[in-house]
A and B are shown apart, each in its own frame.
Chain A
């Protein structure tokens, strides 16, 4: 988990991407170490997918440098692509083929012979619990099953780097846990994982390190737990919205940050536990809870609550 980017497996230096005049990725620097699970977080349009597409050598850089395994993405795209497995955000499975044939045809692009790809497909189908859909056309799968097939396809070339762009969007909890489990196993095997997600729980659960992007820039970077502690603290107090409580909080604790979310007041303060007991004493009402601060609090604090267009 080195912050030192010199020995990084993926290394970006002043990486920039412009679509005409619009800057989607704005001179960012980061390093991803061999064997870590690295999260790319950020609101819609932050530039996550754009960054990923540059790593996988399908989108030219506008400026800056990007190296993968010591190779320049602008010069050695074939070798880099051969070592990457990608589960893209969009569904681009081949609707003309069945599940297993999608895997076989995709493997062929990596020069993997059919006997080998069939064997690998068999294992992956088993792991993803999709064996009974082996010979079903892609169009006849549910969207969650398609996500699972996309993940299988990303693994068919036994990649050293696995890039997952929102791998669990649209999955049921069972499938999500299945995929988390698989990701953790792959990490143990030494696969480097780059993950984007909008589920903070997922990011906190899986990522060793992450960076949070907004408007093409990196706004924070680090280990999930450290980030939460740094920006939100240990605990958050939540109280049902009430004007009396609100007034009381405002006057007594000017240092506390108050947010009204869904008819609840969230109190971010350096000493919430003290607050909590005090409020209970004063108003003696139910529905107040003290919970652990989490990555979602951190994310919202750093990127604001405004919706992205």
Chain B
């Protein structure tokens, strides 16, 4: 295969059917078996951030965009939980299912095809984003940090954003040699994104090149902007750019993830 054909083949349209939901359902069933255990970490972790950073650090920080610090970071933390839950679901957890448990091998022996397995995994990653960020949203709501009914749009948005992060994660899963290699995307991509996406300080305070870099390469920038706007009812036209970025990137990475995984698994 020459280089051009190789690149094009990454964007072949996958053959999908309702069967991808059977794969989703398998993961959902595992989740529900131990749902109590599964709900606690996403409930506790944001509390630490809110209390520690919001109240603790907030005492030293000047208001950001005219908001108390805790009200500034709260919707961003909701977006961060979308990123973390879907990204880690489709890196470590998917890799374990694929490589150690051979779950994908078992499923593709049935009428479900490999494309549907990967799509189901990504949909499940998106669902984790929905679940965890919704829990977080409730916490933030209880803290009285939400001021607009538009916040009700955040859960559906969390699914879309979840698809994007899960797909990016799955692309890494398709190319890494072993599970330890996830350290690279985690520390070199996810951690800087966590810090530099307008989460804990406005992105406009950063040097111009970093701002541009963040807008191009850090989907979290867009997720934070949308989440904050909906939680606080601050709607403006730049949100169209944020939403458009996600709407374009999500299907592109979704399709690329499926094709890269096929390349990894079909010898």
B110 closest partner in A (C-beta): A109
The number of residues on chain B lying at the interface, defined by a beta carbon within 8 Å of a beta carbon of chain A, is 21
Contact across chains for B267 and A109 when beta carbons are under 8 A apart: no
CA distance A145 to B51 in the complex (A): 51
Determine which residue in B26, B107, B108, B111 has the highest number of CB atoms from chain A within 10 A of its CB, and name it.
Answer: B111
The residues of A that contact B107 with a CB separation of less than 8 Å are 109
The residues of B that contact A106 with a CB separation of less than 8 Å are 106, 110
The residues of A that contact B112 with a CB separation of less than 8 Å are 109
Q: Mark A79-101, 1 if CB is under 8 A from B, else 0.
A: 00110101010111111110001
Contact across chains for B105 and A97 when beta carbons are under 8 A apart: no
Contact across chains for B101 and A95 when beta carbons are under 8 A apart: yes
CB distance from B205 to the nearest CB of A (A): 45
A110 closest partner in B (C-beta): B110
Contact across chains for B19 and A109 when beta carbons are under 8 A apart: yes
Given the known A-B contacts A97-B30, A108-B25, A109-B22, are A90 and B109 also in contact in the complex, defined by CB atoms under 8 Å?
no
Contact across chains for B110 and A81 when beta carbons are under 8 A apart: yes
The residues of B that contact A88 with a CB separation of less than 8 Å are 105-106, 109
The residues of A that contact B105 with a CB separation of less than 8 Å are 58, 88, 90, 92
* B266 beta carbon closer than 8 Å to chain A: yes
CA distance A56 to B33 in the complex (A): 32
* A244 beta carbon closer than 8 Å to chain B: no
Q: Mark A109-120, 1 if CB is under 8 A from B, else 0.
A: 111000000000
Q: Mark B19-40, 1 if CB is under 8 A from A, else 0.
A: 1001001100110010000000
Contact across chains for A78 and B22 when beta carbons are under 8 A apart: no
Contact across chains for A19 and B111 when beta carbons are under 8 A apart: no
* From A60, A86, A93, contact of B109 by CB (8 A): A86
A154 closest partner in B (C-beta): B109
The residues of A that contact B102 with a CB separation of less than 8 Å are 90-92
Q: Mark B87-123, 1 if CB is under 8 A from A, else 0.
A: 0000000000000011101111111110000000000
Contact across chains for B106 and A82 when beta carbons are under 8 A apart: no
Contact across chains for A59 and B267 when beta carbons are under 8 A apart: yes
The number of residues on chain A lying at the interface, defined by a beta carbon within 8 Å of a beta carbon of chain B, is 28
CB distance from B96 to the nearest CB of A (A): 10
Q: Is the interface of A mostly helix, strand, loop or mixed?
A: loop
The residues of B that contact A270 with a CB separation of less than 8 Å are none
Contact across chains for B110 and A105 when beta carbons are under 8 A apart: no
CA distance A96 to B33 in the complex (A): 9
The residues of A that contact B22 with a CB separation of less than 8 Å are 108-109
Contact across chains for A110 and B106 when beta carbons are under 8 A apart: no
CB distance from A177 to the nearest CB of B (A): 27
Contact across chains for A96 and B111 when beta carbons are under 8 A apart: no
Contact across chains for A58 and B26 when beta carbons are under 8 A apart: no
The residues of A that contact B30 with a CB separation of less than 8 Å are 96-97
CA distance A109 to B107 in the complex (A): 7
The residues of B that contact A91 with a CB separation of less than 8 Å are 102
The residues of B that contact A56 with a CB separation of less than 8 Å are 109
* From B25, B26, B106, B111, contact of A92 by CB (8 A): B106
Determine which residue in B25, B110, B267 has the highest number of CB atoms from chain A within 10 A of its CB, and name it.
Answer: B110
CB distance from A158 to the nearest CB of B (A): 13
CA distance A214 to B64 in the complex (A): 72
Determine which residue in A88, A93, A94 has the highest number of CB atoms from chain B within 10 A of its CB, and name it.
Answer: A94
CB distance from B65 to the nearest CB of A (A): 44
CB distance from A166 to the nearest CB of B (A): 16
B116 closest partner in A (C-beta): A109
The residues of B that contact A96 with a CB separation of less than 8 Å are 30, 33, 101
CB distance from B151 to the nearest CB of A (A): 34
B29 closest partner in A (C-beta): A105
CB distance from A171 to the nearest CB of B (A): 20
CA distance A56 to B19 in the complex (A): 18
* A74 beta carbon closer than 8 Å to chain B: no
The residues of A that contact B25 with a CB separation of less than 8 Å are 108
A85 closest partner in B (C-beta): B109
The residues of B that contact A101 with a CB separation of less than 8 Å are 29
Given the known A-B contacts A60-B266, A108-B22, A109-B22, are A94 and B111 also in contact in the complex, defined by CB atoms under 8 Å?
no
The residues of B that contact A81 with a CB separation of less than 8 Å are 109-111
CA distance A111 to B109 in the complex (A): 14
Interface of chain A residues 48 through 77 with chain B (CB within 8 A): 56, 58-60, 77
Contact across chains for B111 and A109 when beta carbons are under 8 A apart: yes
Contact across chains for A77 and B113 when beta carbons are under 8 A apart: yes
Contact across chains for B110 and A93 when beta carbons are under 8 A apart: no
A156 closest partner in B (C-beta): B110
Complex A-B, nearest 6 residue pairs according to Cβ-Cβ distance, in ascending order: A92-B102, A109-B110, A92-B106, A96-B30, A78-B111, A82-B111
In addition to A97-B30, A108-B26, 20 A-B residue pairs with Cβ atoms within 8 Å of each other are A58-B105, A59-B266, A81-B110, A82-B110, A82-B111, A86-B109, A88-B105, A90-B102, A92-B105, A94-B26, A94-B101, A94-B106, A96-B101, A105-B29, A108-B22, A109-B107, A109-B110, A109-B112, A110-B111, A111-B111
What are 9 contact pairs spanning A and B, CB under 8 A? A78-B113, A84-B109, A88-B109, A92-B101, A94-B106, A95-B101, A97-B30, A108-B22, A109-B19
B-contacting residues of A (Cβ < 8 Å)? 19, 56, 58-60, 77-78, 81-82, 84, 86, 88, 90-97, 101, 105-106, 108-111, 157
A-contacting residues of B (Cβ < 8 Å)? 19, 22, 25-26, 29-30, 33, 101-103, 105-113, 266-267
